[in-house]
A and B are shown apart, each in its own frame.
Chain A
Amino acid sequence: MGGASGEGGDAVREGGLRAVPAPGFQPGERGANRRRTHRLLAGAAAVLAIAALAAGDRSATVAPTAAGARVDVAALARTVEAEQDHVTAVELAAWIRDRKPGLRVVDVRGADDFAAFHLPTAENLSLTGLTRAPIRPDETVVLYSEGGTHAAQGWFFLRARGIEHVYFLRGGLYEWMTEVVNPTLPANATPARRTEFARTAELSRYFGGVPRIGGGAAPTAVDDPAAELPRRGSDDGDGAAAAAVRRVRQRGC
């Protein structure tokens, strides 16, 4: 709609110094026809918008299950046994980096802890909040806490609400810190392990981490050319994250 259609001819003639004529002003039959078309299109847009309002929002958010709703415990137990209830920190990091569609990372710790440090893209929801937060069935929810216990409990709450795609970060923030932010490759690692580590190291650097080789007293930064890629300063770049984790570790799970 707008004055869009049929202006190409005017715009191509750029020779003169005169200003481009105002497209809204088109005397004669052509102008009248165009105005009619514009009105028709505007009307169609209005009708579609009003119809959308009237149709309501199917929005497909899963309403919290009423108290006492039945849960298929056996099915949940099978999911847990098949280890399909959790993700590793490296898997989660890859999801965040690759912008997995519909991914929601949920931090179930307190607001203060969340403010001090949280995973990229995470939102903060208490366990109570989890029980009533609107979640679409097509979303993939990953819960995490300091260790993993609270997140695992939250996993059950969401599954009990009938939400299918729920996972928790198995080792919590500890795992994130040791596997993503500061992954360390033992000096005597096998070649296969080294190849795998290269992938992890790339992820780590994406999140501003510092991958290291050698579990000795003085770990050295990875010595490969790729490590020279832009990386946040290892001293204060991840300082805030490291300090937050130190506090987390001191407190225990």
Chain B
Amino acid sequence: MTNQRAAIAAGAAIAAMLAAGPAAAQDAGRYLAGNCANCHGTDGVSAGGMPSLAGQPKAYMVGQMQEFKAGKRPATIMHQLSKGYTDQQIEMLAEFFSRVPRK
């Protein structure tokens, strides 16, 4: 599937959530963050050995993801995974993680 089609699908999903109200949009970011939890811990609170995403400033997180996506920041795996997410999804993820308290 193309990135463009992914973007359209994600855009439609986000539009539906926004229509349903701000709480639903917030939940959408929380649900989306489940994609990252396998490696970075539930809600981005790492159990060790991987960086925690919880409490990272939104702009920093978006910047890192965009650098991975553009191949500017070297990585073992994140340069590949980051390309699977639309800019809109990255915004939602970064927004969510920025609100999780660091432990």
A-B complex is real = no
Residue numbers of B with Cβ under 8 A of A are none
